[in-house]
Amino acid sequence: MKRITPARAIFRLLSLAAVLAGAAAVSAQSGGEPSSAAILGKLESNQSWNAGKIEASLAVSNRFGVTDNDFTSWSRKGGDALIEITSGPDRGQKVLRQASNIYLFYPEADEVIWLKGTALRDSLMGSDFSYEDLTDDRTLMDRFDGELLGSEAVDGEDCWRLKLKAKSKKETYQIQEIWVDKTRYVQRKAILYSAAGKALRSMTATDVRPIGGRYLAYSTTMTDLLKKNTSTVMTIKKAEIDIDIPERYFNREELSW
């Protein structure tokens, strides 16, 4: 297996995703506002399920035009995730995440490549999403300290605005600003920063729909702020949660099936 030294829907979509949230009231502090921990707790509670499947598309816009890829993703609690590209220029490629390890399968070469280090930040299918963005299943509460900055409307929806600071220097985005829908607890917007405070990426989420007692944003736009005239829209076509997924979907040795 070739190794490249430098380099949880999905998926934070998928993490990004992070895009999912719960519809539940947040217990308030004495001042009438909830704590940042309470808000994040409700957000995270709806980002967790035993297993899920999503069929989606990525529309990548840049100076060369628009490129479309369809993909199907499977994920399960514990951080395992599989993305299979089903149409477009990269059809047949697969991305498997096992805990902190990511493997790429290229059908034309019948080869599996192990991504590690900074390679996890590389672009997926030429999009504004990195491999890490679309497969990272770790919780925000475990990784960040939060501060509630107040309230702000996003696309007409009243949101809590929070600032998150990474607990570890290994985090790609050392600082995050997120806007969480007060009613449905969906992450509506995010700006992701470096340790120096430079904005690296921005995310907006729309078309929020209920699913299995939770809420899911069916459209997510990611923009790489270090590039010009580029953005990627991820559109979910079908979503299923708390389903049974065969073990082989998360087996590295089965990537060529």
Which domain, by its residues, includes 121? 2-240
pLDDT per residue as tens digits for the range 96-129: 988 778 899 988 878 898 887 667 777 777 888 8
pLDDT-derived band at 137 (thresholds 50, 70, 90) equals low
Cross-strand partners of 71: 56, 85
Does 70 map to a domain?
yes
Q: What is the pLDDT of residue 257?
A: 64
Asked whether 93 and 113 are in contact (CB, 8 A), the reply is no
What mean pLDDT is predicted for residues 232-254?
93
Does 250 map to a domain?
no
- Provide DSSP, 139-164: -HHHHEEEEEEEEEEETTEEEEEEEE
Backbone angles phi, psi at 135, to 5 degrees: -125, -5
Does 97 map to a domain?
yes
What mean pLDDT is predicted for residues 10-29?
37
Contacts of 19 (CB under 8 A, 6+ apart): 9, 12, 13, 186, 187, 205, 216, 217, 220
Tally of structural domains, the chain: 1
Cα distance between residue 120 and residue 81, in whole Å: 14
Does 158 map to a domain?
yes
Does 253 map to a domain?
no
Cα distance between residue 82 and residue 250, in whole Å: 7
Does 186 map to a domain?
yes
% of the chain beyond a pLDDT of 90? 57
Does 247 map to a domain?
no
pLDDT per residue as tens digits for the range 21-53: 333 333 334 457 899 999 999 998 877 778 899
pLDDT per residue as tens digits for the range 170-225: 888 999 999 999 999 999 999 999 999 999 999 999 999 999 889 999 999 999 99
What mean pLDDT is predicted for residues 4-18?
37
Exposed, middle or buried by CB within 10 Å (0-12, 13-18, 19+), for 207? Answer: exposed
Helix spans in the chain (H): 36-45, 131-135, 140-143
Q: What is the pLDDT of residue 131?
A: 77
Mean pLDDT (the chain, rounded): 84
Does 245 map to a domain?
no
> Which CATH number do you get for residue 144?
2.50.20.10
pLDDT per residue as tens digits for the range 64-90: 899 999 999 999 887 789 999 999 888
